[in-house]
Structure 1
Amino acid sequence: MNTLAASARHRNGRLGRLALAILPVALVSVLGSWATLPNIPTWYAGLAKPPLTPPNGVFGPVWTALYGLMAFAIWRVLSTHPAMPGRGRAVALFYLQLALNGLWSWSFFAAQSPAAGLANILALDVAAGATFAMFRRIDRLASWCLLPYLAWIAFATYLNAEIWLLNG
């Protein structure tokens, strides 16, 4: 009976960690899309953009891949022993940067404010960089999974800053 109960607890723990990895990332993706998509053919289409701006069709597939890597990375960290030094801080930083990620779509697109988006994405850059550093101490594969995300948000910071400058 004890073995059966322990097995059920272990299975529930794995499912819980999986839910804590996938659901918040999926929620941010959906909420970000709600803020972004209606504004692309209207407000965003009318903005002056820098020369390195990718076609609109690139953003969806890139973000899908990045969100998948982010969910996998946090799942790896959540799957480490809860008493591991720095684990709690790393998890908190991940969810902070995830919230900033979602907030960017609302500040840039929904509020139609490149200035607010820039302020937000600069905070996101710092939080995501700190998350990478914390993940690196806990699980190197998890940290490597965040590298494409860090590169993309650095590029997004350039795009946001240029849009702000070109349209301010």
Structure 2
Amino acid sequence: MKFKPIAFIVNILITLSIGALAAWGTSESVQTWYPTLNKPSFNPPNWLFAPVWTSLYILIGIAAYLVWVRRDKIVHFPRTFAIYFIQLILNLAWSFIFFYLHEVGFALAEIILLLIVIIVNATMFYKINKLAGLIFIPYILWVSFASFLNYNIFILN
């Protein structure tokens, strides 16, 4: 399969744009509201979130590219990419629910739904391209950790 650089870049830019939109919409609360919350001892330092999420968004974009280049051979391609975009929308929504609306409990319910959709997405990608599915493992692990962190913040506040 021939590498398609424009498609590769577009897939990564889509995910990085989601991250940029989330960062733009929540940056004030990260500086003002979030520090006032009671957090568990295992809460990572704030500086860690941006590089982790940037790396994850790049990986998610690479996985999407690996599936996209096979779209002509995938009978259920529209459904596969619908699930992909749903998880991106849920990813973005969590940031706004948690940081902008300050709805920690609602954010907890939403991130659990997000995690389920990510796992479904990873499974669908894996069936099309094993590497694309495996690339989702760090994303699943991070969102699992974020879910646990969200739960603990909900309990502590």
CA deviation digits over 1:7-30, x for unaligned, max 9?
xxx99x863x33551232122111
Q: Shift in Å at residue 114 of structure 1? A: 0.6
The one-letter amino acid of 1:91's match is F
2:56 counterpart (66, 77, 80): 66
| Runs of at least 5 residues in structure 1 that lack an aligned partner in the other structure | 1-9
1:92 counterpart (57, 82, 89): 82
CA distance in 2 between counterparts of 1:156 and 1:14 reads 32
Q: CA RMSD for the aligned pairs?
A: 1.8
The one-letter amino acid of 2:15's match is V
Instruction: Tell me the residue number matched to 1:77.
Output: 67
CA deviation digits over 1:101-153, x for unaligned, max 9?
01111000010111121121011011100001101100011111110000000
CA deviation digits over 1:51-99, x for unaligned, max 9?
2111111111100110010000001100114232333322111111011
Which has the larger displacement, 98-107 or 17-26? Answer: 17-26
1:124 corresponds to 2:109:
no
| TM value normalised by structure 2 | 0.92
Kept in 2, the 8 Å contact 1:50–1:163? The answer is yes
Which has the larger displacement, 89-98 or 156-165? Answer: 89-98
CA distance in 2 between counterparts of 1:141 and 1:85 reads 19
The one-letter amino acid of 2:88's match is L
Instruction: Tell me the residue number matched to 1:18.
Output: 8
1:27 counterpart (17, 20, 37): 17
Kept in 1, the 8 Å contact 2:16–2:54? The answer is no
Q: Percent identity over the alignment?
A: 34
1:56 corresponds to 2:46:
yes
The one-letter amino acid of 1:101's match is N
2:35 counterpart (36, 45, 50): 45
| TM value normalised by structure 1 | 0.86
Instruction: Tell me the residue number matched to 1:154.
Output: 144
Count of paired positions: 156
Q: Shift in Å at residue 154 of structure 1? A: 0.3
